[in-house]
Amino acid sequence: MTKKAAVVEMDPKQTKARDQSEKGGHAELDEVRAALDAAPNVVKELGDLGRAALLMEVDSFAGKNILMREAQKRYLAQLQTEIEGPNPSPLERLLAQEVVICRQHLASAQALCAALHEYSFAQAEFHERRIERAQRRYLAAVKTLAQIRRLQLPAVQVNVAAEGGKQINVAR
């Protein structure tokens, strides 16, 4: 098939879908970012709650070991910066924070369970359940962040009906 043959008859429905999709790319993202910037309280409150959760997790993991606690805090701050990437939106920042917290929560639950020597049936069940929930939450957080990043990309898909009844899908 030549390039010429691929040039295109788009039906009105497809044209409308493409236009809306393009319109929803950068412009709408900017709108959402502006709305989030205008409502900093929600972001701030959630961020504070996240910081409190992270500190509790670190304390629970490191106990009275000050060196471990400080090292953990620095490592997690660095990890969050890496996950956020350059120019994160407030939502991305919150989701990156959630990923870090859930990761620490999972690590802490696993370490605590591994360190147990003597435990009752009820205690073993409690730790097992805690690990399962932490795993679920961690995976959900990673998935949501990935989904948000994917949706925010200005992805435009054009479906074109080419000559001869074949369909060409172009994503850019």
Contacts with another protein by CB under 8 A lie at: 16-17, 20-21, 24, 28-29, 31-32, 35-36, 42-43, 45-46, 49-50, 52-53, 56-57, 60, 91, 94-95, 97-98, 101-102, 105, 112, 123, 126, 130, 133, 137, 141, 144, 147-148, 151
Give me the least distance between CB of 155 and another protein, in Å please.
10
Give me the least distance between CB of 53 and another protein, in Å please.
4
Task: Round to whole Å and give the CA distance between 34 and 109.
Answer: 38
Task: Round to whole Å and give the CA distance between 153 and 25.
Answer: 7
Contacts (Cβ under 8 Å, ≥6 apart) of 171: 155, 156, 157, 158
**Sign (positive or negative) of CA dihedral 142, 148, 151, 153:** negative
Q: Name which of 77 and 151 has its Cβ closer to another protein.
A: 151
Q: Name which of 67 and 122 has its Cβ closer to another protein.
A: 122
